[in-house]
Amino acid sequence: MHIPSLKEVVSAEEWQLRCDLAACYRLIAAYGWSDLVFTHVSARIPGPEHHFLINPYGMMFDEITASSLVKIDQDCNKLSDSSYPVNPAGFTIHSCIHQGREDAGCVLHTHTRAGVAVSAQKCGVLAISQQSTFVLGSLAYHDYEGVALRDDEKPRLQADLGKANYLMLRNHGLLTVGKTIPDAFLAMYTFENTCRIQIDAQAGGELTFVNPQIVAGIASVMKVATAGMGAALAWPALLRKLDRMDPSYRS
């Protein structure tokens, strides 16, 4: 595939956002979280226009580059030239979350095996690991209403998410909200591992639960543990990892 570079066409700020979002898609593929071409990560372009970047529908996540990402508006209309379509149904969930949360710079959604498995459990996320305590500090649930195609589901999605940064879509999968792309990615890394650990632990015998007081105090602990910079610490290392694997995401 030959996709002309947009580096000299878009603003420096948009180009950086494109590189980070393309990196996010490549990392999702590298960690095995993709569902062929059927999930999405969206990022809001700074400015008053409420424009977004999203994947070209039909590209595998390990093919996506900064220039191949498609610019769309709030109604999923294409604003940039692309031979690939975008998936309006896939943007239904993302658009309503961006609309309801001004702080939602990035929305990341997956259909992983472990994530869907835990989303189907009545108990939801259990406080059985250190990872789970980070998730439980900002977790919400949304009941399954079928494939997300209807506009009338949007207000319920917004209400269920509220101010949380982790959303478990029942019988469907996982979703994270971040101020930045690195924030949303690190949150999903933690969410996914929480679910994998839970499924593995449930297969191994009686569970030991974390003290509820520890879960309740996790927000203050995180401020000390990473000085609120967890994503900022991990993201440069993740980009170096990608550059060693295949730097073409920057093209």
Q: What is the DSSP string of 173-216?
A: EEEEEESSHHHHHHHHHHHHHHHHHHHHHHTSSS--PPPHHHHH
Claim: this prediction has a pTM higher than 0.75: yes
Is the dihedral angle over the CA atoms 29, 31, 35, 41 positive or is it negative? negative
**Token pair for 17:** 């956002």
Q: Are 192 and 110 in contact (CB under 8 A)?
A: yes
| Tokens 């203050």 belong to residue | 220
Place of tokens 């000085």: 227
Q: What is the mean pLDDT of residues 184-198?
A: 97
- Does 79 score more than 60 pLDDT? yes
**pLDDT confidence of residue 91:** 84
Report d(CA 215, CA 221) in Å as an integer. 10
pLDDT over 60 at 224, yes or no: no
Q: Is 235 exposed, middle or buried (0-12, 13-18, 19+ CB in 10 A)?
A: buried
**Whole-number pLDDT of residue 229:** 60
Residue 227: the pLDDT is 46
Least confident of 71-85, 157-171, 188-202: 71-85
Whole-angstrom distance, CA of residue 5 vs CA of residue 16: 13
From the list 109, 97, 98, the residue with the least C-alpha distance to 44 is 98
> How far apart are the two ends of the chain, measured CA to CA in Å?
12
Which of 17-21, 23-27, 174-178, 202-206 comes out lowest in average pLDDT? 202-206
Sheet bearing 139-142, strands edge to edge: 70-72, 51-54, 41-45, 106-110, 173-178, 166-169, 139-142
Mean pLDDT of the chain: 92
Average pLDDT over residues 108-122: 98
Give the pLDDT confidence score for residue 76 in this predicted structure.
85
Residue-wise pLDDT for 23-36, tens only, equals: 999 999 999 999 99
State the DSSP H helix or E strand holding residue 167, giving kind and residue range, or none if neither: strand 166-169
User: Stretch 94-101: mean pLDDT, rounded?
Assistant: 92
Query: Is the four-CA dihedral 237, 238, 239, 241 of positive or negative sign?
Result: positive
* Model confidence at 228: pLDDT above 80: no
Average pLDDT over residues 108-124: 98
Distance CA 36, CA 39 (A): 8
Query: What's the pLDDT band for 151 if we cut at 50, 70, 90?
Result: confident
d(CA 158, CA 128) in angstroms, rounded, equals: 28
Residue 222: its pLDDT value, please?
58
